[in-house]
Structure 1
Amino acid sequence: MTRIAIALTPEFADWESALFSAVARSYLGAEIIIASPDGSPVKSMGGLKVMPDVAYGALDPASIDALIVPGGLSWERGTAPDFTEMVQRFRREGRVIAGICAAASMLAGTGILNNVAHTGNSLASHRAYPAYSGADYYRDQPQAVRDQGVITAAGTAPISFTTEILKALNLWGPEAEAEIKAFAAEHR
């Protein structure tokens, strides 16, 4: 069974990983593990209160196939936890790592985007992080980008973000394609 961790921050953007978790868990049988900084409940930008399964420290990349981080207001407010060590552990283990919106810029700050194609809300938001030197790999496009097990997206791209994660985890097939096609119908 595919095991996926979604690391939430206080004031996370609740729509950015919702489609992914619903499709992966309910239709494709993946196990979704929700984590917060200390395992305590977190509230989304929209006021959704989530009771996590574990704290970040309990996430072991040896037994988890992917780490997904939605964006949110905690980065804008300067209150987001430092993800560098956790992201580096997952990267060393060769796990899929995905960040959308402000979390894509957080990935820039960990240095893992310096040599892979990527996108995000803007190049300027990535450049705000001193560890980022990957501007030559930045793709200014509205859809998610997947390269070498790293997926990034602007906050306006939860559908292509979901699609690229499913493909990276080898969960893409007729059933996944049908679900995503249904959710993306308004974009035709």
Structure 2
Amino acid sequence: MGLTYFKRFRMELDLTEPLYPAPPLPANYELIPWSDGLSSEHALAKYQSFRSELDANVFPCLGRRDGCLQLMREITRRTSFVPEATWLLRHRPLGEPAVAVGTVQGLRMEGWGAIQNLGVMQAHRGHGLGTVLMTRAAEGFRRVGLAKMHLEVTTENSAAVRLYRRMGFKQARTVFKAAEIQHA
């Protein structure tokens, strides 16, 4: 084990400006607004989205199913939790039950909307689903009266950085996150 520092961008979006237009939701997908019985589905989508990704090194709880469930419980119990900015994405193949494949959660922090763990499972990426989830979260922050939002992203996650820039997020600063990781 050794201490590693991960470079991350804090990215910010002005919610008083027009939002980047989200693509239409593809067939067989559905967006579900937050409700109290959805923590397990959000946790599963979070786990499936992050378990094999770099961010599971940065935040080890993302690499464990029980860690994702505990994280969801912690997020939703906070007084700063914003249900209006929290969405679940399900995929419903024809003739099969729906499966959670994406998630985003929002918090209110010091007058800002703060995105927590936007994730879409690998097999469902490339269809604009991250854009749809982020747009819904931004609309939720607007509904509760917030005029700006932010997130942090590991700089090596180039696809996510591109998505956020395309949506109008501006890089505000660089931060470093220390994490203990297994070295080969």
TM-score range, shorter chain: 0.3 to 0.5
More strand by share: 2
User: TM-score, normalising length from structure 2?
Assistant: 0.36
Q: Which gives a bigger RCO, structure 1 or 2 (Cα 8 Å, sep 6+)?
A: 2
